């Protein structure tokens, strides 16, 4: 069986219940005043809360635990609709309150920074409440599910003067920074293509983890828990970041070409090839699966007239022209630490992943949402192993096919893959609807 994915899985269950306590107005004092100790013996640092403290929220709890112990912040509240799961690496500090409703928490704990790690379709309403309460925001990816939601959140940020960091943690990689430097120095020549390949596995239990797992929508709201939108969103975002480095401007797709497949009766893709055609920039191809044979963590392949670079983004291993083999580039700037530094010095410390930087990703994600249902692969096209929650479905030959797609800038249907279907092509005009 393939190795499991390097990134933790998202917790389940929307946050919010019957409590309708009013959200307190934005605090009048600046960050420095609010971050001061509350009284004798109090720990200095901003007050931090986590909404969605189970599942992937446990990863955030571990990140917060070290900063809390160092006195750089105070964890004041956890929110989840389920009882808080034990996390030995991040014990709940004394005095931290626990809630089942984020509005109740905002009114009672009055945090300065809120980490939101809830199902994607709950992000916007919770984020708006957080901003109205006067707190800054670390919002998990995908931040929102449409360009309209993106504009709404951007407007709230402008109106409140708060900051929003989006949870694309791979953007803080020193390996990505070194790749960007190499591109700026012309070591690859003219960049002709950007691709990414990632081959993960997800068992049946993954799709039973919550009511929104594997769904296109829930209760009339878009969810889009597909490979491109959720577990392998980092692969797409890294490519968009590289493309911005190449062109010097955020990517604005001229056309999106998309092929989506599934190996189970789910509503979203678990296998896909996506091509983003940009005006004046290199094409971007994402070739990903959650039904892989062997584990491929995630590679960004940048092809130029003078050479090729490969960045394995989950592990920060980088291969540049002239390197005999990939090497690990140590160091990542943590998104929460960066947000804290930005609060202290907004002009001198820009955010690594501000909401504006994710606008191209949201534009692409919206088109994935609009596309027809993925093609179901079954019968002799798949191999089934295991049983119960650990039952795994794989597509024989998928790893090699996806690697070819990423390296050649092609879709599966262009590589004579016998089960591939013609792509959906979405022109730029549709992105403005």
- Position 399 confidence tier, pLDDT thresholds 50, 70, 90: very high
For the chain, which domains are there?
Answer: 175-329+360-432 (3.30.360.10)
Look at residue 86 in the predicted model and tell me its pLDDT: 93
Which residues pair with residue 103 across a beta bridge?
none
Give the DSSP H or E segment for 233. Answer: helix 233-247
The count of other CB atoms within 10 Å of the CB of residue 17 is 13
Pairing of strands 221-222, 217-218: antiparallel
d(Cα 49, Cα 98) in Å, to the nearest integer? 10
- pLDDT tens digits for range 242-299: 999 999 999 988 999 999 999 999 999 999 999 999 988 999 999 999 999 999 999 9
Q: Give the list of residues 6+ apart from residue 1 with CB closer than 8 angstroms, or none.
A: 201, 385, 386, 392
Token reading at 4: 């499991």
Q: φ and ψ at 257, to 5 degrees?
A: -120, 130
Between 391 and 10, name the one with better pLDDT.
391
Between 315 and 17, name the one with better pLDDT.
315
Cα 86 to chain centroid distance, Å, stands at 24
Look at residue 43 in the predicted model and tell me its pLDDT: 54
- pLDDT tens digits for range 110-155: 999 999 999 888 999 999 999 999 999 999 999 999 999 999 999 9
* Short-list 402, 391, 417, 379, CA closest to 295: 402
Give the DSSP H or E segment for 150. Answer: helix 147-160
- Position 391 confidence tier, pLDDT thresholds 50, 70, 90: very high
Token reading at 287: 């070739």
For 224, half-sphere exposure in the C-beta direction (CA atoms, 13 angstrom radius) is: 28
């Amino acid at each position: 069986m393939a190795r499991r994915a390097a990134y933790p899985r998202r917790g389940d269950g929307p946050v919010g219940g019957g409590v309708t306590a009013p959200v307190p107005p934005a605090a009048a004092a600046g960050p420095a005043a609010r971050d001061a100790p509350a009284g004798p013996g109090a720990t200095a640092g901003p007050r931090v809360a986590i909404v969605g403290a189970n599942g992937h929220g446990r990863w955030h709890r571990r990140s917060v635990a070290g900063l809390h112990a160092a006195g750089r912040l105070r964890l004041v509240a956890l929110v989840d609709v389920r009882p808080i799961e034990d996390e030995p690496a991040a014990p709940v500090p004394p005095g931290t309150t626990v809630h089942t409703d984020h509005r109740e928490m905002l009114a009672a704990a009055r945090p300065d920074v809120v980490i939101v790690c809830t199902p994607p379709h709950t992000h916007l309403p919770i984020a708006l409440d957080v901003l109205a309460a006067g707190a800054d925001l670390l919002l998990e990816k995908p931040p929102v599910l449409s360009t309209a939601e993106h504009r709404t959140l951007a407007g709230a940020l402008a109106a409140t003067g708060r900051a929003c960091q989006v949870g694309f943690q791979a953007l803080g990689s020193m390996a990505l920074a070194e790749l960007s430097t190499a591109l700026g120095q012309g070591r690859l020549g003219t960049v002709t293509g950007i691709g990414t390949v990632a081959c993960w596995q997800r068992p049946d239990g993954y799709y039973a983890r919550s009511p929104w797992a594997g769904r296109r929508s829930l209760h009339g709201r878009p969810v889009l828990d597909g490979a491109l939108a959720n577990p392998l969103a980092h692969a797409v975002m890294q490519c968009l970041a590289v493309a911005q480095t190449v062109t010097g401007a955020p990517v604005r797709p001229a056309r999106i070409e998309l092929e989506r497949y599934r190996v189970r009766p789910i509503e979203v893709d678990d296998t896909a090839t996506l091509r983003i055609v940009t005006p004046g920039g290199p094409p971007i191809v994402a070739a990903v699966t959650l039904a892989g044979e062997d584990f491929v963590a995630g590679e960004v392949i940048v092809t130029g007239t003078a050479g090729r670079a490969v960045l394995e983004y989950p592990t920060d291993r980088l291969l540049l022209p002239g390197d005999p083999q990939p090497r690990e580039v140590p160091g990542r700037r943590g998104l929460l630490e960066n947000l804290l530094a930005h609060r202290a010095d907004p002009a001198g410390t820009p955010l690594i992943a501000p909401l504006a930087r994710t606008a191209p990703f949201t534009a692409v994600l919206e088109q994935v949402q609009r596309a027809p249902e993925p093609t179901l692969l079954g019968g002799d096209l798949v191999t089934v192993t295991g049983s119960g929650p650990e039952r795994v479905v794989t597509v024989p030959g998928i790893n090699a096919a996806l690697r070819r797609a990423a390296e050649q800038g092609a879709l599966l249907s262009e590589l004579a893959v016998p089960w591939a279907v013609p792509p959906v092509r979405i022109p730029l005009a549709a992105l403005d609807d």
